[in-house]
Structure 1
């Protein structure tokens, strides 16, 4: 389901702006303290690639960029940054090993000026490195002006009058050095079996005034004119790297170096304002705010701008996993609900990116890619799109977005009952378009869930198949969708639609309560078609009925008793996807057979709150924060966690874990209430 390598162009431009007479742009030193400096190194972003596909460390992406960078490993004395990693090149690979490596030489003596590293940090929205030399300090700040342009601002501040020669170097990965050539006034890097290209250029005084040198995998661009440094005055040099996905289709606007940093800081200051709403009873606000910032960094690090056949921006599941180089529907709904709190336009685009591919019958594909030929139409994913849309409205009051989405959401909702209700009883089933069991399990989002071990497939019609069991989580989601669609209809003044949705929800609520709750076991289960027999597997799907508000108070009380049983779900890190006393329980490698997935755990906490169990909800939420190993320190947010130890497993830097943690600790202001 992953796309082939697409046409890719990388354009790297190194620009030094001078005012004349060999003096580069001089300005006073102004490094204001901002919100970002309160959250330095929330994630460890040090690393150096050993191979083109090395994903063993964290990478800095921002603003929807498809290229990213890291700080060099601790103790590396050289200037510059690791990178770039180009995510749109195949499944993602390092195009460069080093970028923006600075070299200085005393103009009169021709002696190299030694620069010693003094500081190195990753802050929200930028990487920064500082160096000192004889009578000189240097600061390198890497940030993104937009999704196309990465900039390195190099600031040289002298304490004595001196003239220096400056050059900037880079190193491509050794496997790619054959493609490194001098091309007129640029350094060009091309890639085998690809139309991709990396160009590097230097400007001084608006005219060519530099030398280009190539040696194996290395290149260097040197200023012909020396820089005249005056005491207590900062001279700024800019390095620009621009990634163009398709040179034939993409024409990015040049970066505005005069305003890029200010705009970057304004954008990030706006993001960080939302962390003041982070609070969880019994935890210091400093802890919950750090978790919120880490969640933001994770989501924004996985943000990818519209390119190729992706027509809107969105968030991938994890750049750390080569299999996750696209947008998934279930993931997207969760991402959007969290993004609404601090990046609402990205939240809206995340929804649009999936609905761009809505089929005529209403189906939304499982996942979409840069190359639409790779899109997966074998299945969809659980229906949380209306919930996410309402979360965006609650955060923004954007009625126009509701109007834009309403018909699309209604058609998607109706599709479930035309394509996935085999016996036409008003309760839907997971299934697939090709009749395969594997795609039907994918459609549940819980690929290898124990409850699906004995399924059979039933044909509903052309390109429509169902499992032979109706799932409680699916129908709880659909029940909530009817209520949410009624709310959207009310906001839009569609009173007839509102009444219809409410009537349908009432009928569905009765069916779920009467047919999917096992009184003898006190829990909600999937049921087999025909017999109606429960599939008695205690899993996280059982409390989805409480999250959706479909359970009666007595049913909820019974389910919560099981949720709070330490032998089942109230584990060290609570709410595993399978009860801990199940013989199939596999807490480390079980995937959906035991590990804690933070989205399901978040739904569990909200299920408790929905029925008035706030004290227990706070207790479980605190465990999810405090017992996730490294969460409050520098560890990334993982795809899932061991419920017995809190150790993270599978993909690090996982977006829906970040989205769920942000929702978990974020107090909803509900500024724009719905009827």
Structure 2
């Protein structure tokens, strides 16, 4: 655009457009430099524009980073005012907007006392920051919102003038009109407190040459003015910072300090590392640019759901989705999948994701289903499928961190042994999903596949006090436990526990034989859950049937037959492949069925990995390409969804879903 602005073109413009053109000339050189930044190609991978209609509105995307429990959005198209939307505070109840407008600028020429109007030129979401740019006849202004750490969101305001200029600068904000919050001032800061919560949101404004001066409050509106004018000289950049900090509980929180002068460079360094991991994304037959675009979206999704240790959560982790008020905590098998994907680009977070769940491991070895900021809401009625050892080993393979293996080994062993102590009703070495309270619903939750058809007729059997099993041995559970024995063997060998290594290999061999003998139906050529007390199968064709292939528990002949089922277009090779229930099942319900037909990306990834493990590389590539190209919006701007319609590729349930993002990263690795 800059190269196309000629003097004769400018002279023909209406007066109202001269301000914009003058500002564009000021910012041309800056724009050329910014285009060379490593994230320039990834602007607006996700659309972050929106304005909440109510405090609970989650109908659009929100920018979070660095583990912060609060986030922001860009104003919607047509809103030409400066600043941002928010914040949305996720740690207040189920989460709510507490601000509408944040970091709006009020600029005035100190000499003439005239307001300086700004015309917007850019509004983007980039990996790790939001940016807005404005111009006037003598001035260009940029606002970059980013997180310095989990406590501090900063807005870096850069001002450049074409002539010597003194400017009075004020910061204007508007809280969400809400009787449950209250504004006050303290030492030049604006403090926002909330009913029934100890949390406090503080907002400050300062620059190298001026401190915050007068603060004005009026209802839900506030304004902070600098104590003296900014002196702008042509060719130099004046920088002002807005700092918004959330203390979850000021009595116990110890916010990390932040150096505003260094924070932006640290943010860029951190995100350059994340983006570097996406550069190797590849899938045969898919353009690498497309693969990288999807990988960056997945990385942004996972980090957008990153939440730092607060309250009763003792380590950082990743929530399932900020877009769903039911998902304001850490879930066990979500955590294992998140950690495997995070290991390749955010290994510290991956380690903490695993630690966060094991912080609450019970004396008997059980790991609970889910954890919350307030531990009184944690779910101990059930656990979740055992993939923790798989996650731990993935972190080691990505980092070589043997200390982490040593830290986790005994905990993983206790959790693994718990499954056979509490969930093997007939003590035959094959386990069942179950519950601590004897309810079928909790046993279904423990599977992670809440309403799967295979559990429609399940009954509960008591094993011991607080330990119940469903009356069927689930093939996926036992495939995961076989994988755990194999992985525990590898971990034991890596940390020098040779006797343990040999013992795990023996146990794995026994369990592999048991899965092949008990859970494979020769007549139908597929793996199924098995009824306790009989030789019958639970004859439902579901995604659980390829778990033994993913784990390597099937024989080559069994795998060959199972692959035929997987690649049957009337069963699992649908437009978007690998639904959780076969297409020809009478209960198949791809839109509203939840686990009765939609495609869940974790199970689809396991299906692709299963094909690869048994040498079906071409078919694996084909299915993986379909998962990328046929899921609506994944290669465009839409968020990744909780699950998808296998017949149309339409996404449903929660957008910005973490394990879907994790699965796409694994598909493209």
The TM-score bracket by the shorter chain reads over 0.9
Aligned: 1:326 with 2:326: no
The aligned runs of 1:329-348 (5 Å cut-off) are 329-348=332-351
Aligned: 1:313 with 2:316: yes
Distance 1:176 1:621 in 2: 50
The aligned runs of 1:383-402 (5 Å cut-off) are 383-402=386-405
What's the C-alpha RMSD, in Å, of the aligned pairs?
1.5
Distance 1:187 1:174 in 2: 16
User: How many residues of Structure 1 are paired with residues of Structure 2 in the alignment?
Assistant: 640
SS in 2 for 1:201: strand
The aligned runs of 1:141-540 (5 Å cut-off) are 141-176=144-179, 179-183=182-186, 185-203=188-206, 210-540=213-543
After TM superposition, the score normalised by the length of structure 1 is 0.93
Give a deviation string over 1:388-422, Cα, whole Å, max 9, x none. 11111110011111111111101100000000000
Q: Return the match for 1:631 from 620, 630, 634.
A: 634
Would the aligned equivalents of 1:598 and 1:660 in 2 still touch at CA under 8 Å? yes
Note the residue ranges of structure 2 that are not aligned, 5 or more in a row. 1-29
Aligned: 1:577 with 2:580: yes
Provide the residue aligned with 1:134 in structure 2.
Answer: 137
Would the aligned equivalents of 2:392 and 2:405 in 1 still touch at CA under 8 Å? yes
Aligned: 1:558 with 2:564: no
Provide the residue aligned with 1:542 in structure 2.
Answer: 545
Residue 134 of structure 1: how far off its partner (Å):
1.4
Note the residue ranges of structure 1 that are not aligned, 5 or more in a row. 1-26, 667-675
Q: Measured at CA, do residues 585 and 510 of structure 1 come closer, stay the same or move farther in structure 2, by a change above 3 Å?
A: same
Would the aligned equivalents of 1:292 and 1:661 in 2 still touch at CA under 8 Å? yes
Aligned: 1:113 with 2:93: no
Would the aligned equivalents of 1:148 and 1:243 in 2 still touch at CA under 8 Å? yes
Residue 163 of structure 1: how far off its partner (Å):
1.5
Give a deviation string over 1:566-604, Cα, whole Å, max 9, x none. 011000000000000000000001000000000000000
Would the aligned equivalents of 2:211 and 2:227 in 1 still touch at CA under 8 Å? no
Provide the residue aligned with 1:613 in structure 2.
Answer: 616
Would the aligned equivalents of 1:598 and 1:657 in 2 still touch at CA under 8 Å? yes
Residue 369 of structure 1: how far off its partner (Å):
0.9
SS in 1 for 2:592: coil
Give a deviation string over 1:143-170, Cα, whole Å, max 9, x none. 0101100000000111112221110010
Larger RCO, structures 1/2 (Cα 8 Å, 6+ apart): 1
Would the aligned equivalents of 1:28 and 1:234 in 2 still touch at CA under 8 Å? no
Give a deviation string over 1:444-483, Cα, whole Å, max 9, x none. 0000000000000000001000000000000000011111
Would the aligned equivalents of 1:547 and 1:607 in 2 still touch at CA under 8 Å? yes
Bigger mean CA deviation after superposition, 224-233 or 38-47: 224-233
Give a deviation string over 1:62-107, Cα, whole Å, max 9, x none. 0101010011111210000001111101111111111100111111
Distance 2:305 2:482 in 1: 31
Provide the residue aligned with 1:98 in structure 2.
Answer: 101
Distance 1:599 1:365 in 2: 20
Would the aligned equivalents of 1:637 and 1:657 in 2 still touch at CA under 8 Å? yes
Provide the residue aligned with 1:12 in structure 2.
Answer: none
Residue 178 of structure 1: how far off its partner (Å):
6.3
After TM superposition, the score normalised by the length of structure 2 is 0.94
SS in 2 for 1:258: helix
Distance 1:276 1:201 in 2: 38
Would the aligned equivalents of 2:281 and 2:288 in 1 still touch at CA under 8 Å? yes
Would the aligned equivalents of 1:182 and 1:188 in 2 still touch at CA under 8 Å? yes
Would the aligned equivalents of 2:100 and 2:176 in 1 still touch at CA under 8 Å? yes
Distance 2:544 2:350 in 1: 26
Distance 1:637 1:30 in 2: 32
Q: Measured at CA, do residues 534 and 218 of structure 1 come closer, stay the same or move farther in structure 2, by a change above 3 Å?
A: same
Distance 2:665 2:404 in 1: 23
SS in 2 for 1:459: strand
Distance 1:81 1:176 in 2: 22
SS in 1 for 2:323: coil
Would the aligned equivalents of 1:149 and 1:240 in 2 still touch at CA under 8 Å? yes
Aligned: 1:600 with 2:603: yes
Distance 1:187 1:635 in 2: 36
Would the aligned equivalents of 2:608 and 2:624 in 1 still touch at CA under 8 Å? yes
Distance 1:167 1:30 in 2: 29
Distance 1:507 1:45 in 2: 52
Q: Measured at CA, do residues 208 and 288 of structure 1 come closer, stay the same or move farther in structure 2, by a change above 3 Å?
A: closer
Distance 2:200 2:406 in 1: 42
Distance 2:31 2:543 in 1: 58
Aligned: 1:64 with 2:86: no
Would the aligned equivalents of 1:28 and 1:233 in 2 still touch at CA under 8 Å? no
Provide the residue aligned with 2:11 in structure 1.
Answer: none
Residue 542 of structure 1: how far off its partner (Å):
0.1
Residue 31 of structure 1: how far off its partner (Å):
4.8
Residue 119 of structure 1: how far off its partner (Å):
0.5
Would the aligned equivalents of 1:176 and 1:217 in 2 still touch at CA under 8 Å? no
Would the aligned equivalents of 2:207 and 2:241 in 1 still touch at CA under 8 Å? no
Provide the residue aligned with 1:652 in structure 2.
Answer: 655
Residue 37 of structure 1: how far off its partner (Å):
1.3
Distance 2:661 2:406 in 1: 28
Distance 1:237 1:200 in 2: 13
Give a deviation string over 1:98-157, Cα, whole Å, max 9, x none. 110011111122211110110011111000000011111000000010110000000011
Would the aligned equivalents of 2:203 and 2:242 in 1 still touch at CA under 8 Å? no
Residue 254 of structure 1: how far off its partner (Å):
2.4
